[in-house]
Amino acid sequence: MAKYQIAVLPGDGIGPEVMDQANRVLDAVCSKFDIQLERTVYPVGGYAIDHHGEALPESTLKGCEQADAILFGSIGGPKWDSLPLDKRPERAALLTLRSHFDLFSNLRPAKIYEGLAHLSPLRVDIAQSGVDVLVVRELTSGIYFGQPKGLEGEGEEQYAFDTMRYSKREIRRIAISAFDAAMKRGKKVTSVDKANVLVCSRLWREVVEEVAKDYTEVTLEHIYIDNATMQLLCDPAQFDVMLCSNLFGDIISDECAMLTGSMGLLPSASINGDGFGMYEPAGGSAPDIAGKGIANPIAQILSASMMLRYSLGEEAAADAIDAAVMKTLSDGVLTGELMPKEQRDKACTTEQVGTYLIQQI
Amino acid sequence: MAKYQIAVLPGDGIGPEVMDQANRVLDAVCSKFDIQLERTVYPVGGYAIDHHGEALPESTLKGCEQADAILFGSIGGPKWDSLPLDKRPERAALLTLRSHFDLFSNLRPAKIYEGLAHLSPLRVDIAQSGVDVLVVRELTSGIYFGQPKGLEGEGEEQYAFDTMRYSKREIRRIAISAFDAAMKRGKKVTSVDKANVLVCSRLWREVVEEVAKDYTEVTLEHIYIDNATMQLLCDPAQFDVMLCSNLFGDIISDECAMLTGSMGLLPSASINGDGFGMYEPAGGSAPDIAGKGIANPIAQILSASMMLRYSLGEEAAADAIDAAVMKTLSDGVLTGELMPKEQRDKACTTEQVGTYLIQQI
Ligand SMILES: CC(C)[C@H](C(=O)O)[C@@H](O)C(=O)O
Ligand SMILES: CC(C)[C@H](C(=O)O)[C@@H](O)C(=O)O
């Protein structure tokens, strides 16, 4: 029997309640596929600040180090927004975990599910033409981590500076992630850059072109970031895999997520070179609906499925979850935010969605 | 009689043909309002490369220096896309003009005109809730011009770097532009940044807060760039003036333009501290339709109106053009791209639109 250690970090807001459902679903697939998942819960985010004085306690980091993967909920909320930036949950925990484990490859699928096109903020005909994009975002370099960064000078001439920086090695490994992913999907990579302005983008293009030579079946296109945000609006169906640097990926992945109109359905994976990864919903901690039992658990459940697939290699179990999600959605077992306003009295609770989904496994 | 010198740079693609109409409209308002506009045409872009060996010949730059404003068409096209980056029309001409004349304040209005909401790629209900945004983009600093920029190292560890850099003075002057503009519009400024990651954005926030103190009637909000791209899709009506750094403004202004679905209607202004400015359509040179007489001249005509308003202080003449544009649009005198496909046989030509518009002045 395959046996794995998972660090579970539920975090704040709706994190704990959607994590409960992900755990139930994991229990169901584990017993069906004979997998043993030992799960240990660790504090993170605002909860960890309140109870342990910091967003990412040493014990949590140690726990993650000993695990085969991290299943992450969501963090942050108004309560901690007035803390100094470096102490705030999102930054202190997320950026540290990403760089500590070298989780350079961030996979963010965004897709309009059948029957849910009406949720998209796009015009009906465009939404129906389909959005099914995988954003592959570089997550541990670029302007997020580039040095030097700081403040210099005095008075009105005081200036701030940040450094965008990419090495060939860093570009190559994320490009390979994107091309590998494209081989399992639509065999098209659109690399997003600003090569008409940035030296980093020029090196990016050069290395991406080199990597493309090893993937003759994959079509490669380059697009400027400004044009990409436009093309996503008028013709999103042209995109399959979008390969982005850290900052551009932050922007593009959020735009893609919003295009689907159903953030509560979108998982994400952040993986390093050894297959270790952190898996979390694309949406935030939604403090406004936390504790009400109405949050959509599917993004968290699909994050668990990505964990099985990418870090544990348990493809069959991941497929089973994905199929159960599809069935649940197409059977109309939905939380309120996925329904037209006038039908929301028929909405399912977080737990009802979890229960129905488990029955499909 | 007021007398001004204008440098006219038609450029490539549809540039010359839409510029013809802008010139006819200028002739009409000038005779009505007793203004003398001496216009001299200079080569720029691909045309200048072909005839003078460079995208921005010295004589063109000199001509612009002697003028009170620059009326710019559009540049670039497939013919010059294989040139080395620094020689290509867009970069060599645009970036040089911006920094040479210190055109730090880029105003890009984007609006869905009455009766044209169906052109927007947004869902009908969202498009009808209204898009009427003025993007105020810093245009001469940030990561576009920050030093150092370059390549270092060898082999796989070779790396590229760009520097994002903003001084308090640079932030203050663009913030003042945004607040001044907001006072003439909806009295709301949304400042776009990535203060959870960038030191530049933190200084940006600090200075914007300071400037806000002098505009007690204006509401100020801060938004992260990733969230801004999302909010523009689901609730664009919340925005009035969006204040952005150079890179973020490049992205946001193009997203806003696409949201209207009518790029051919959108002008832009790039102004310096002395009121000198360059005025150009937001869209590109559209080489695919160039020379066919079907391009929409309105963005160019509205650019001429912005020139009258911002560089020449001829408000009445500018108002007259704007009113004539509104009338022309609401009378349904439209080029084909603004019409539903099945009605395009009734489309007006570039010249017909110009003629009708002049009759309204
Ligand atoms: C919280 C923030 C630092 C983070 C980022 O910009 O990467 C977030 O926006 C994300 O995309 O996960
Ligand atoms: C051509 C390019 C350098 C330019 C920019 O990024 O500023 C263009 O996209 C624009 O917005 O005018």
Q: Reduce the DSSP state of residue A354 to 3 states and report it.
A: helix
CA distance B76 to chain A (A): 13
d(Cα A335, Cα A346) in Å, to the nearest integer?
9
Identify which ligand lies nearest to the alpha carbon of B255. Answer: 2
pLDDT digits (tens, 9 = 90+) for B32-72: 999 999 999 999 999 999 999 999 999 999 999 999 999 99
- Of residues A260, A243, A261, the one with CA closest to residue A252: A243
Query: Residue B84 corresponds to which tokens in the numbers above?
Result: 């080395």
* Eight-class DSSP state of A213: T
Atom 10 (ligand 2): residue with closest C-alpha? B250
Contact (CB<8Å) A162/B161: no
Neighbours of B91 (CB within 10 A): 18
Cβ atoms of B299 and B284 within 8 Å: the answer is: no
Residue of B83 and A156 predicted with greater confidence: A156
d(Cα A260, Cα A128) in Å, to the nearest integer?
11
Neighbours of B340 (CB within 10 A): 9
pLDDT at B82 > cutoff 90: no
Q: Which of B157, B197, B234 sits opposite A144 (nearest CB)?
A: B197
* Ligand 1 and A172: CB distance under 6 A: no
Q: Is A157 annotated as a binding residue?
A: no
pLDDT at A1 > cutoff 90: no
Q: Residue written as tokens 């959607």?
A: A18
pLDDT digits (tens, 9 = 90+) for A138-153: 999 999 999 999 999 9
DSSP string, B24-35: HHHHHHHHHHTE
As to burial, measured by CB atoms within 10 angstroms (0-12 exposed, 13-18 middle, 19+ buried), residue B24 is: middle
d(Cα A88, Cα A84) in Å, to the nearest integer?
6
Cβ atoms of A264 and A283 within 8 Å: the answer is: yes
Tell me the chain B residues in contact with residue A150 when contact means C-beta distances shorter than 8 Å.
Answer: 199
pLDDT at A158 > cutoff 90: yes
Cβ atoms of A203 and B160 within 8 Å: the answer is: yes
pLDDT at A38 > cutoff 90: yes
Q: Which residues of B are catalytic?
A: 144, 194, 226, 250, 254
Contact (CB<8Å) B198/A161: no
Give the start-end residues of each E strand in chain A.
2-11, 35-41, 69-74, 105-111, 132-138, 150-152, 159-167, 188-193, 219-224, 241-244, 267-271, 277-281
- Of residues B338, B306, B335, B278, the one with CA closest to residue B134: B306
B272 C-alpha to ligand 2 centroid (Å): 17
* Eight-class DSSP state of A14: T
Q: What is the pLDDT of residue B317?
A: 98
| pLDDT band, residue A241 (cuts 50/70/90) | very high
The helix or strand, by DSSP H or E, that contains position B45, with its residue range, turns out to be helix B45-52
Q: What is the pLDDT of residue B168?
A: 98
